[in-house]
Chains A and B, each alone.
Chain A
């Protein structure tokens, strides 16, 4: 693993730190990730600081979901959650982009690491807990949410998002499809297929690469010889953006532009958000087996944390203080406990769920298996 440079001048843009941004990919390019706030919370682009109410909302959402990610790890360890894909450290990348969507018009096409984006687009904490517990009612996507099912195999959702965008375009709803993939997923054929299809149809889609440096144990440099994956946008004839994925203001600004362009009929965009997977791949993964946790992961956790960056900024702006922090964390904990309680108290999964929704009109073979299932349920209950 290449050694990262670990020095950042206070108050200066973090633009020189290519090696860090590229996740151990040696970079010699002129490209620098777009930033509004430096890692220490100092504005790099004063002119682009949005309304502070919005910044505070972003901060609160990041704190809320970091707390959730932490709690999910605890629940997993006490066997109260199934295998779970953590997003901790990538809050800015997911929340900043999903906040650019209109929940009534736009569709989110998530993959397994997008719990934060999904909740930002309206998914409830209770449903998130139940989904990761493998409860059928957690898998049910409520009718009032424009969220597609979580995709596990990489990266089918890229093609689905192109199709959603085409469908919204045909129906002239003004809606946009937003989807995510890790940097590893860009090596798959369906990444190319989906982005290219959307480009060919000028479909209103926003494709986001969350480059967190790692595909389980495989570092970014193994995936491709290109320095930045967003360069592929040129090959699709669409706008490409390179963004500091741990700067939520930068992420949000770029995502808003991409969403608006899509809505205005200007077609899809490709955004690469440079972030870092400070946590394991999933709760079943132990990164100590393949990387030095005191190296880059520690550096990113201590020096590039997306939440601390905004907190410092808000504190400097006199919008934040310890009292508010304490009050907010108490609210967050209360909300989480209520969601956990609701999930815990939810009726146990009905075994009938096993054979529901296979077909709209189930063939006789399914009906026969439903009868066998009913017998098995009866035996267990006897």
Chain B
């Protein structure tokens, strides 16, 4: 499933460092790759993910843009149409909204609209998710908007190894890829891991079985994977074997891997930090219903944030954002059905 093409040497990296590494590798390999966004040049971005890249690759290839998300994404369409491969950064996923028209009217449709004459080989990277105590619009999880828009791919890695391999694939991909980076996992020491140096890729659309089990399938992605693992550990001590699927990408959605697991366990929980209604969980549940209804032993459970804006009430967030014990409660529920 995973290709390690050049080197097998590894380094212990955080998620943040692995993402930086992916961009560094691709700037070296492909002269059409350019990186721009607010603060990404001299400063290295608000989360310092592009640190050092401008110094190493020059101001023509890594540069600060004016403060305009619509401008960043709209110009990436134009630059991509004439052969560049822009990898642009937004400061936060919640700041995507000023670019709504460019994303949904243009990024998603540009290739279709020109009947294949122009492709949109851009990557849009941005930090997402809460638990940080930051301001409004600094904790959003906007994946459902993007997945609902035909023509856009959505990657949402959960660990350093996947983040680097998926970002390299995203940059090489000729379709637009929106790349979600969970803020609280950027430098989470618990997920530091060995990451190959140099080039390797992980194909978009191949989910990862994070843990095998026979009793219940838990599907998640991004920063939620840690909470799912914690809940599964607790369940294991009670003799319940959870199978955990890390989607890695939401578009393409690896429904095949999901269905294989459902056939095995008959019980499904979907976890995401984004709001529940019309979220990714609803889509996955619908596809399971269409394709594996008779494999189900229990109703599908969704563990998601409440249908509100991401809560600005820092001390209350743990009632809404999925915590391990919310997932544990869902495990209990689907097993007792």
A359 with B114, Cβ < 8 A, contacts A148-B81, A162-B75, A170-B34 known = no
Task: Name the residue on B nearest A175 (C-beta).
Answer: B82
Closest-CB distance, B242 to chain A (whole angstroms): 25
Q: Does B83 contact A171, Cβ atoms closer than 8 Å?
A: yes
Q: Does A197 contact B173, Cβ atoms closer than 8 Å?
A: no
**A193 touches which one: B74, B77, B112, B116 (CB < 8 A)?**
B74
Q: Does A163 contact B79, Cβ atoms closer than 8 Å?
A: yes
Additional A-B contacts beyond A160-B81, A357-B111, A365-B255 (10; CB < 8 A)? A159-B78, A159-B102, A160-B74, A162-B75, A164-B81, A170-B84, A171-B83, A189-B98, A358-B112, A358-B150
Q: List 7 A-B contacts (CB under 8 A).
A: A137-B115, A151-B106, A165-B78, A170-B34, A190-B70, A194-B74, A359-B111
A166 with B79, Cβ < 8 A, contacts A171-B84, A358-B151 known = yes
Contact residue range for chain B? 35 or more
**A357 touches which one: B77, B105, B115, B251 (CB < 8 A)?**
B115
Q: Does B151 contact A148, Cβ atoms closer than 8 Å?
A: no
**A-B contact number at CB 8 A:** 148
A363 with B252, Cβ < 8 A, contacts A160-B75, A164-B78, A190-B70 known = yes
Q: Does A149 contact B74, Cβ atoms closer than 8 Å?
A: no
A159 with B71, Cβ < 8 A, contacts A136-B115, A165-B78, A357-B115 known = yes
B115 surroundings in chain A (CB, below 8 A): 136-137, 139-141, 353, 356-357
Residue among A173, A175, A358 with most chain B CB within 10 A: A358
Asked if B307 is at the interface (CB within 8 A of a chain A CB), the reply is: no
In the complex, which residues 117-169 of chain A have their Cβ closer than 8 Å to any Cβ of chain B? Answer: 136-137, 139-143, 148-151, 153, 156, 159-168
Contact residue range for chain A? 35 or more
CA distance A170 to B81 in the complex (A): 13
Q: Does A142 contact B117, Cβ atoms closer than 8 Å?
A: yes
A170 with B68, Cβ < 8 A, contacts A140-B115, A357-B116, A359-B153 known = no
Q: Does A149 contact B110, Cβ atoms closer than 8 Å?
A: yes
Asked if A338 is at the interface (CB within 8 A of a chain B CB), the reply is: no
CA distance A143 to B81 in the complex (A): 12
Q: Does B77 contact A163, Cβ atoms closer than 8 Å?
A: yes
Chain A at the B interface: mostly helix, strand, loop or mixed? helix
Task: Name the residue on A nearest B249 (C-beta).
Answer: A363
Q: Does B256 contact A197, Cβ atoms closer than 8 Å?
A: no
Going nearest first, the 6 A-B pairs with the smallest beta carbon separation are A163-B78, A159-B74, A163-B75, A363-B252, A140-B115, A167-B79
Closest-CB distance, B202 to chain A (whole angstroms): 15
A193 with B83, Cβ < 8 A, contacts A140-B116, A148-B114, A163-B77 known = no
Closest-CB distance, B203 to chain A (whole angstroms): 10
Convert A77-103 into 0s and 1s, putting 1 for each residue whose CB lies closer than 8 angstroms to a CB of B: 000000000000000000000000000
Convert A165-193 into 0s and 1s, putting 1 for each residue whose CB lies closer than 8 angstroms to a CB of B: 11110110101010000000000011001
Closest-CB distance, B122 to chain A (whole angstroms): 10
Task: Name the residue on B nearest A170 (C-beta).
Answer: B84
Closest-CB distance, B111 to chain A (whole angstroms): 5
